[in-house]
Amino acid sequence: MATIAIAAPHPAAVEAARQVTAEGGGLIDAALAAAAALTVAYPHQCSIGGDLVALVRDGVRGTVRSVLSAGAAAAATDPARLRAAGDRMPPGGPLTVTVPGVVAGWAELARLGARLPLARSLAPAVALADGGVPVSEGLARAIRNRLDVVRADAGLSALLLDKTGDPLPVGATLLQPALAATLRELSDDWRHFYTGPTARRLVAGLRERGSLLDATDFADHRAENTAPLSAADNAIGVTWWVAPPPSQGASLLAVLGHGTDPLTAARQAELSRDALLGDPRSGTVDLEGLLLRAERDVTALPAGPRPAGDTVAVTAVDDEGNAVSLIQSVFQSFGSGIADPATGIVLHNRGSAFSLDPAHPGALRPGARPPHTLCPALATAPGRVVSLGCQGGRAQAWILSQVAEDLLDAPSPDAVLARPRWVIGSRDLNRPHPTLVLEPGTPDTDRLTATAHRLGLEVSVTQGPHDEAGHVQTARLRDGEPDAATDPRADGTTAVIVGLGAG
């Protein structure tokens, strides 16, 4: 028997993990079931119409792999057309939809060690979509916050408003029969999403709305299984692992490597990421600059759209040292603001992160992947494995940096996640200027405030714990004992499951 610790931002995800482990599933099956359930329960944050980035550790070999399933812009993309309309990408709509990568990402994760067929891991999600799931506080809040976007789209309106046109309240039953049918189709063959009937319906719906994506764009998508970035901190005997570009994982390593002044490092990493991050498949990416290992002349660039409620993280470890940190996202709440009625799929707006400057590494180009905020992380040290990830948009790197080291040894991971935190950002935090946002009681507030003023940042204090500080999920193995914790800012839960299968 394997013992698995798992954390996720919604109880339905953890229940799905319990179901598949009871049938002999191992760590990866549990993570996949949780991830699939979240695409049903949390449509404001993730969907099979979004992207996925994950890290997977093999406990026997001690190796870590990165799965990047980030979709590309259409081959027919015309950057000049968008540049003629303005200096930045639109925040939503059909031209911000890139090929969704979640489903291909699930398939690649399954290939790395699932014990059950992918269809079995999807079964709890199918049941949730068919039978309904109660609207959580987070989902109800997202509907209210983006009510104009929801009402502007027929698919979102049918999904999220009641018969009188009012937002579904907390506890109302969210039914998704079209999504259930799509998930059943993908259970027969996940490739249907990219080359089969699902793809045909989805492409037809997108093109009716003005998208340039076509059947070839979908058929060309592949999840990338690649080596992660890593950095060793010999002082504390730990190795950190993150996903490579186009993920912003390098920014987390940059901040962790400058622990004496984390705010200055975070601001430098933010500016470097905004100036240097792009898709290595379509151009050169300055990794040394992203890691702050080399000085670069970077200037503040306009922030992208505000990605509120953009992401879910599933973290899991087992008692054999296997680990998964999985993040999937629609970017902004409800993504592009499009829910395709034929398939029940909410489409992300990940393409809004492209730059319209043709000289930028993250420039919009045909077939390019946009710069990515998704930032899963793992840590390994003698007797310890930590999986962590968070919701938090562009601030994910600095959010994780405030908890990562303490999670290695803290007796209570829950206490670490409950501590007040800070973030920096501007438009992505709904601030007009670069700002340090502090929760009340954040450690070293005076020092952070003085540093912020030196860096030219405005300072804002929230009234209490706030979504902007992120929703961190973590699972750990310490001295042979798995445990997990979920952020009190979210709707999440954890479990330690004794299953039949190994990782």
Tens digit of pLDDT for each residue in 379-390?
999 999 999 999
pLDDT value of residue 467:
85
Report pLDDT digits (tens) over 191-247: 999 999 999 999 999 999 999 999 999 999 999 999 999 999 888 899 999 999 999
Residue 314 contacts residue 492 (beta carbons within 8 Å): no
- Answer positive or negative: Cα dihedral of 203, 204, 205, 209: positive
Report the distance separating Cα 422 and Cα 448, nearest Å: 9
Instruction: Give the pTM.
Output: 0.95
The CATH code for residues 2-228+303-421+470-499 is 3.60.20.40
Domain layout of the chain by residue ranges:
2-228+303-421+470-499
Structure tokens at 19: 């179901």
Angle at 350 between CA 349 and CA 354, to 5 degrees: 115
Reported as a pLDDT band with limits 50, 70 and 90, residue 300 is: low
Residue 239 contacts residue 377 (beta carbons within 8 Å): no
| Percentage with pLDDT > 90 across the chain | 86
Report pLDDT digits (tens) over 92-141: 999 999 999 999 999 999 999 999 999 999 999 999 999 999 999 989 99
Residue 453 contacts residue 459 (beta carbons within 8 Å): yes
pLDDT value of residue 306:
45
Report the distance separating Cα 307 and Cα 370, nearest Å: 14
Q: For residue 495, is pLDDT > 50?
A: yes
**Cα separations (Å) of 479 from 175, 319, 321?**
43, 9, 10
For the chain, give the mean pLDDT: 93
Which active-site residues does the annotation give? 311
Exposure class string for 449-483: b at 16+ Cβ within 10 A, else e: bebbeeeebeeebbeebbbbbbbbbbbbbbeeebb
pLDDT value of residue 424:
94
pLDDT value of residue 114:
97
Reported as a pLDDT band with limits 50, 70 and 90, residue 305 is: very low
Distance from first CA to last CA of the chain, Å, rounded? 10
Reported as a pLDDT band with limits 50, 70 and 90, residue 275 is: very high
Report the distance separating Cα 188 and Cα 335, nearest Å: 27
Report pLDDT digits (tens) over 307-356: 444 689 999 999 999 999 999 999 999 999 999 999 999 999 999 999 99
Please list the residues that pair with 195 across neighbouring strands. none
pLDDT value of residue 227:
98
Provide the H-helix boundaries in 352-411: 396-401, 404-407
Q: For residue 34, is pLDDT > 80?
A: yes
pLDDT value of residue 301:
52
